[in-house]
Amino acid sequence: MTALRERFGLRIESLLQLFVFFLTALVWVGLAIFAPRFLTAHNITNILRQVSIVSVIAFGELFAIIIAGIDLSVGSLAALSGVVLAATVAAGAPLAFSILAGLAVGAAVGLVNGIGTFRLGIPAFIITLAGLEAYRGVALLVSGGLSIANLPPGFADFGSSVTLDVPNLFIVTLVVGLVADFVLRRTRTGRYLYAIGSSEEAARRAGISVGAVTILAYVVSGVLAGLGGELLVARLAVGSPTAAMGYELQAIAAAVVGGASLFGGRGSIFGTFIGALLFATIANGANLLGIDPFWEMVAEGVLIAFVVYIDNVQKKRYAGG
Amino acid sequence: MKRIFTLLALAAFMAGSGMAQNAAPVSSLEIPVIVKATNSQYWQYVFAGAKAAAKDLGIKVQTLGAAAESDVAQQISILEDAVTKNPPAIVIAPTAFDPLAGPIEKATKAGIPVIVIDSSVNTNSYASFLSTDNEAAGRLAADRLASAIKAKTGSEAGQVAYLTALPNVGSLTARDKGFNEEMASKYPNIKIVDHRFGNNDPAKALSNASDILTKYPDLVGIFADNNMMGDGAGRAVQENQLQGKVSVVAFDTDDQEISFLKSGVIDALIVQDPYMMGYAGVWYAAAAHFGAHLPKNLDTGVSAVTKDNLDKQPAVGLLDASKRRLTPFLGQ
């Protein structure tokens, strides 16, 4: 594996990620041949825009998954941050302040999740599931149940424009991805995250401050969910309290298909991105080929199950002889 | 419109003249009004009409609804809880055609008159059904799309696509049917080339519309069968700066759609009368409680709102419930 990494310079951690990477490439080749206008600049730009938001949320979700936790509140949190952003701007506040306000909400929720999980011992699944309901409710309350439209044109422009031919939304995703990847692979904190995911007890005995790192993971998940929600406001040019429904499952699916294990200790930003890209490509391909959307949903479910199965087979083969 | 008020006046007269089957004072009545979801301006207008009727009648209403239009189970729970409280009558907009039939039949059997609004349900066991004739509305949408296409391209011809919010919803299926039939019978040169479901999510509608525009670069029109789809379709056209080439006709209104209408991204909005569904719904509910015999079906009507008639009545009142003027008949 190390030889492979050195040779290709790619961040591929396991056979599984290699498999998913080539599967995605195969889908792209297939669509380029069979789907009209798939491989045009216009369509690729659309795919990049479509993948940006889920990717950012998935990057944050990855932090929670690596420590063997989970964050089911990211979808509702994205909507809440988006609504806070839109409402703050509509009230006349400067843009920078409004953006920070949305991110602060994400951080605050992350803090609640982290402290609840670590200090209070509430299982992550439960506390974030409660968050999924509660924060959706807060978003509906803040917005009065309606979308907040008539935002300054800057939003719509940011969401639809490109810089050097790359969509702005995707540039944000790229920057966030590179920073997150650096943290995970090249900093001590990153190593601590993986260590806790592999074995929390061993990490504790090694002197790692499990509490601080756990809370950090959930705060990152919250902030990136908030950022994703704000990007969604730019994409839609409207702050909607019912946006991002189901995005938590899309984020988890992207991370898992990209090589993360729900038991913790594994996963990469690059893999997560490829996972998100694979799903976005399937959705786009289904539209271009005119495939029944219901079959598309079945296909995505089968894909997730298949990838996890391959992952288990590989783990069994390499574990303990 | 005049017919509704004749009937309302008659019902009020009958109630007032002591044909009441119930001795409870009118002011103590509280009627639950159950909509599909509380998160869209459309349902908020139903509530506005309902509250106005309650004020005129001197009764109370309880405004209820799930958080999402796709949450059928939640609406069934809300209805069952309402029935348990034995209200004088119930006003409900069924989220889905089949699942709500049983619970509504149970309510009627328990002696609670049910007024159904907006979407049809698979039973005849209700007191009255107030709705838009959605098939006619779909036909109107097709007519408006064709004339918008003609204005932009010179002829009623070309490829069009339509976006459906959710499968198996009575009102949406009827709109799509009307749209398809009108296009097929009156505009043989307009071809419907694609049709996607958007899960009532504007982001999904945006992705679908973008992909449709990619797949069919010569597309000249998009029909969006509710306001969430309209938001997404409008944004796709705006993002690709195709408002000069692609015509969009969407259903219902919200702030975003009106903004698109003003800027020329959307060519016409087919606007229903949710305010009247709420207003007449509550009036009918109260009348039914006092034993009035109601017409089985009532068409609350649609209007096409364009940039030209946006600032005049009745469009003004249809788009903003606070500016709504009921007919001269009621002296408002």
Q: Do B202 and A236 touch (CB under 8 A)?
A: yes
**Is the residue at A82 inside a domain?**
yes
Per-residue pLDDT band for B331 (boundaries 50, 70, 90) equals: very low
Q: Do A37 and B203 touch (CB under 8 A)?
A: no
CA torsion through residues A155, A159, A163, A168, sign: positive
Averaging pLDDT over each range in A105-114, A302-311, B295-304, which range is the top one? A105-114
Query: Does the beta carbon of B210 lie under 8 angstroms from any beta carbon of chain A?
Result: yes
If DSSP codes are grouped into helix, strand and coil, which group holds residue A261?
Answer: coil
If DSSP codes are grouped into helix, strand and coil, which group holds residue B292?
Answer: coil
Which of B326, B304, B289 shows the shortest CA–CA distance to B90? B289
A115 class by beta-carbon count within 10 Å (0-12 exposed, 13-18 middle, 19+ buried): middle
Q: Do B67 and A136 touch (CB under 8 A)?
A: yes
Q: Answer yes or no: is pLDDT of B225 > 90.
A: yes
ipTM: 0.81
Which of A57, A281, A41, A10 shows the shortest CA–CA distance to A169? A57
Contact in structure between B279 and B46 (CB atoms under 8 Å) = no
- A 10 A CB-CB count for B55 gives 12
CA dist B98 and B106 (Å) reads: 14
Question: How many Å lie between the alpha carbon of A43 and the closest alpha carbon of chain B?
Answer: 6
CA dist B131 and A270 (Å) reads: 52
Query: Does the beta carbon of B235 lie under 8 angstroms from any beta carbon of chain A?
Result: yes
Residue A8 has a pLDDT of: 47
Mean per-residue pLDDT, B255-266: 92
Contacts of B274 in chain A (CB under 8 A): none
Query: Does the beta carbon of B69 lie under 8 angstroms from any beta carbon of chain A?
Result: no
Q: Do domains B2-132+273-301 and B134-271 have the same CATH topology?
A: yes
* Disruptive mutation site among A31, A39, A50, A232 for chain B (greatest number of B CBs within 10 Å): A50
Radius of gyration of chain B (CA): 20
**Whether CATH 3.40.50.2300 fits B134-271:** yes
Helix axis angle for A168-186 and A269-289, nearest 10°, is: 150
Question: How many Å lie between the alpha carbon of B89 and the closest alpha carbon of chain A?
Answer: 26
Q: Do B238 and A160 touch (CB under 8 A)?
A: yes
Question: How many Å lie between the alpha carbon of A71 and the closest alpha carbon of chain B?
Answer: 22
Q: Do B214 and A140 touch (CB under 8 A)?
A: no
Alpha helices in B201-273 (DSSP H): 202-215, 227-239, 255-263
Q: pLDDT digits over B117-132, tens only?
A: 998 899 999 999 998 8
Contact in structure between A218 and A71 (CB atoms under 8 Å) = yes
The residue with tokens 């800027």 is B263
Q: pLDDT digits over A77-130, tens only?
A: 999 999 999 999 999 889 999 999 999 999 999 999 999 999 998 999 999 999
Report DSSP state, residue B30: E
Length of chain A: 321
**Whether CATH 3.20.10.10 fits B2-132+273-301:** no
The domain tally of chain A equals 1
If DSSP codes are grouped into helix, strand and coil, which group holds residue B138?
Answer: helix
Which position has the higher pLDDT, A319 or A258? A258
Residue B332 has a pLDDT of: 38
**Is the residue at A10 inside a domain?**
no
CA dist A4 and A181 (Å) reads: 19
In angstroms, the Cα distances linking B48 to B44, B217, B277 are 6, 42, 10
Q: Answer yes or no: is pLDDT of A3 > 70.
A: no
Query: Does the beta carbon of B120 lie under 8 angstroms from any beta carbon of chain A?
Result: no
Query: Does the beta carbon of B35 lie under 8 angstroms from any beta carbon of chain A?
Result: no
Buried b (16+ CB within 10 A) or exposed e, B63-79: bbbbbbbbbbeebbebb
Q: Give the amino acid at B61.
A: V
Which of B194, B192, B165 shows the shortest CA–CA distance to B179? B192
Provide the residue ranges of all domains of chain B, joining segments of one domain with +.
2-132+273-301, 134-271
Q: pLDDT digits over A164-180, tens only?
A: 888 999 999 999 999 99
CB pairs A-B closer than 8 Å: 89
The residue with tokens 């949450």 is B71
Q: Answer yes or no: is pLDDT of A6 > 70.
A: no
B301 class by beta-carbon count within 10 Å (0-12 exposed, 13-18 middle, 19+ buried): middle
β-strand partners of B66:
B37
Owning domain of residue A116: 48-244
**Is the residue at A101 inside a domain?**
yes
Contacts of A245 in chain B (CB under 8 A): 68, 201
Q: pLDDT digits over A197-256, tens only?
A: 999 899 999 999 999 999 999 999 999 999 999 999 999 988 989 889 889 999 999 999
**Is the residue at A64 inside a domain?**
yes
Mean per-residue pLDDT, A9-33: 79
CA dist B169 and B134 (Å) reads: 12
Query: Does the beta carbon of B259 lie under 8 angstroms from any beta carbon of chain A?
Result: yes
Residue B236 has a pLDDT of: 95
Which of A230, A81, A83, A249 shows the shortest CA–CA distance to A169? A230
Q: Do A147 and B256 touch (CB under 8 A)?
A: yes
Residue B169 has a pLDDT of: 84
Residue A248 has a pLDDT of: 93
Residue A24 has a pLDDT of: 92
What are the respective helix, strand and coil percentages of chain A, to the nearest 5? 75, 0, 20
